[in-house]
Amino acid sequence: MPDILRPPRRPALDHRRRALCAAALLAPLAARAMPSAVPILAYHRFAPTAVDSMTVRLELLDAQLSVLERLACHIVPLADWVAWRQGRLATLPERAVVLTADDGHRSQFEQLAPRLRERGWPVSLFIYPSAISNASYAMTWAQLTELAGQEGVAVQSHTLWHPNLLRERRSQTPEAFQRFALTQLRQSREVLQRRLARPVEHLAWPFGLSDAGLQALAAEVGYTAAVSLGNRSATAADSLFDLPRHLIVDSVSARQLESRLLAAFGTGAAS
């Protein structure tokens, strides 16, 4: 890995992480903090009105963020959940929640990022590079670079151009599909790392779709985790390469979000 892609050295953090790793190794598994389930929320785009199926109205977004505050949720980076799942991080805070947003829509830059920044909340943005500075709705590379430089924002891969990989597998020969999938997984990571000068470790499956072969390929290419969809909260039993996320669209009211969160925290009815 070129030096430019390595995370900056932070001795204090390294020391703390080493201590946490040691604690994780020494502590019996049952004694580690084991949140029953961690909700990972998947957003897409935001606007004053719900102009399409993936748009969340700004009024609703504010209400949903207020729910996260009122329930005293701890918004943690996806990387922390992955580290905890791998046993590299001993504990996660109570009521941990992970925020993600897919597809690089400009409203993530204009609307979502400022709201999260003022709260000090981390977010993972899953980007397919072919859209950036290209699709009319998408962020520019300058905007994405600005976000990637902000504390708490992790820019991660959503393949190169967002194909339906299961449909492609059905329509191509096995050899052709292998090459196609490798290109989608590998080049997306390479472009983002080169453009943003930051490591890319996580993947979001386009449309949430993958299979065991694709998940193995993602690991082979160097990803450490991949998220999908599924409208349920992630648990330690979930595969690191098929982590379910709650798709948050405009039909998910603040009350419904609250119900899902309380169910994950074991303090409310399941939904």
**Closer residue to Zn ion in complex, CB, 63/249:** 249
Q: What backbone torsions phi and psi does residue 236 show, to the nearest 5 degrees? A: -65, -20
Do the beta carbons of residue 186 and residue 150 sit within 8 Å? no
> How many of the other CB atoms lie within 10 Å of CB of 55?
21
Strand 123-127 and strand 153-157: pairing? parallel
The nearest distance, CB 13 to Zn ion, in angstroms, is 32
**Closer residue to Zn ion in complex, CB, 20/209:** 209
Q: Is 156 helix (H, G, I), strand (E, B) or coil?
A: strand
The nearest distance, CB 17 to Zn ion, in angstroms, is 31
- End-to-end alpha-carbon separation of the chain, Å? 44
Q: Which residue is nearest to Zn ion (CB)?
A: 102
**Closer residue to Zn ion in complex, CB, 35/100:** 100
Q: What is the CA radius of gyration of the chain?
A: 18
Do the beta carbons of residue 192 and residue 200 sit within 8 Å? yes
- Residue 121's contacts (CB-CB under 8 Å, 6 or more residues apart) are 75, 99, 152
**Closer residue to Zn ion in complex, CB, 111/159:** 159
The nearest distance, CB 14 to Zn ion, in angstroms, is 34
**Closer residue to Zn ion in complex, CB, 103/250:** 103
Q: How many residues are recorded in the chain?
A: 271
The nearest distance, CB 245 to Zn ion, in angstroms, is 11
**Closer residue to Zn ion in complex, CB, 91/130:** 130
Site residues, Zn ion (CB under 5 A):
102-103
The nearest distance, CB 62 to Zn ion, in angstroms, is 23
The nearest distance, CB 50 to Zn ion, in angstroms, is 18
The alpha carbon of 106 is separated from its chain's Cα centroid by a whole number of angstroms, namely 17
